[in-house]
């Protein structure tokens, strides 16, 4: 999504607050809204534009100028009715993209039917990701880009230490593409293929799941 877009986040639980805070820190325009005044007062220190309002009320959303926002993230998974109302009002106001957090697949199907452009299942996705990471020995992190393709961060194996990417030729041997190299807090996208690797490094690679398993 473009950094020039404007965002609104409805619901300041842990998920909504994290999304709004990250957007705000990245310098984009973001409005955070919750119906609980105490929560709003607590969040305003980290998210400058916070409002206490009922997002299930179409007139309230009109006063907030919701039609002027490009993306609305509805993070009220604990209330299906409130999510439904908020989605319908946002789409009626002309919001182009509405993303809704869901508690279950059934809720997700309902929210799609009433107008959500995308639904997310943070807890389920996080759980699946953790399970994959636990089952992927030697893998630092696994992110599924699609059903067949994953991006994986892997430790440099002891037997790779002292060798270069040219020496290893991972693309030919394993069918993976190295896109970045991490060492500590530093992430390099432009990698010198002649640089010798050591075990303090991690490689970020993209490949089909079947190919990645061969690296274990």
Instruction: Examine the domain organization and report whether 100 and 170 are in the same domain.
Output: no
137 occurs within a structural domain? yes
Q: Which of 120, 145, 171 is the last residue of a domain?
A: 120
Q: Which domain holds residue 166?
A: 125-215
Phi, psi of 92 (to 5 degrees): -65, -30
Instruction: Examine the domain organization and report whether 105 and 130 are in the same domain.
Output: no
pLDDT tens for the chain, residues 1 to 216: 445 789 999 999 988 998 999 888 888 889 999 999 999 999 998 898 999 999 999 999 999 999 999 999 999 988 899 999 999 999 999 999 999 999 888 999 999 999 999 998 876 665 555 455 444 445 455 555 665 677 778 888 899 999 999 999 988 888 888 888 988 878 888 889 899 999 999 888 887 767 766 665
| Rounded Cα–Cα distance for residues 215 and 209 (Å) | 11
Closest CA to 129 of 116, 115, 140, 138: 140
Q: Which of 95, 120, 145 is the last residue of a domain?
A: 120
173 occurs within a structural domain? yes
Residues 75 and 101 sit within 8 Å (Cβ to Cβ):
yes
């Amino acid at each position: 999504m473009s950094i020039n877009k404007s965002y609104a986040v409805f619901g300041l639980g842990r998920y909504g607050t994290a999304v709004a805070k990250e957007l705000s820190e990245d310098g984009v325009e973001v409005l955070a809204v919750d119906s609980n005044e105490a929560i709003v007062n607590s969040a305003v220190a980290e998210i400058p534009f916070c409002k206490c309002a009922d997002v299930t009320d179409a007139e309230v959303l009109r006063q907030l100028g919701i039609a002027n926002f490009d993306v609305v993230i509805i993070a009220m998974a604990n209330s299906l009715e409130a999510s439904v109302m908020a989605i319908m009002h946002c789409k009626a106001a002309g919001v182009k993209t509405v993303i809704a957090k869901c508690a279950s697949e059934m809720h997700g199907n309902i929210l799609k039917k009433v107008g959500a452009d995308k639904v997310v299942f943070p807890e389920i996705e996080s759980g699946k990701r953790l399970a994959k990471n636990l089952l992927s020995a030697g893998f630092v992190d696994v992110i599924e880009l699609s059903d067949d393709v994953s991006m994986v961060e892997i430790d440099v194996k002891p037997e790779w230490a002292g060798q270069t990417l040219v020496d290893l030729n991972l693309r030919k041997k394993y069918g993976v593409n190295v896109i970045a190299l991490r060492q500590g807090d530093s992430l390099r996208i432009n990698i010198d293929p002649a640089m010798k690797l050591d075990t303090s490094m991690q490689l970020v690679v993209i490949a089909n799941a079947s190919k990645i398993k061969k690296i274990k």
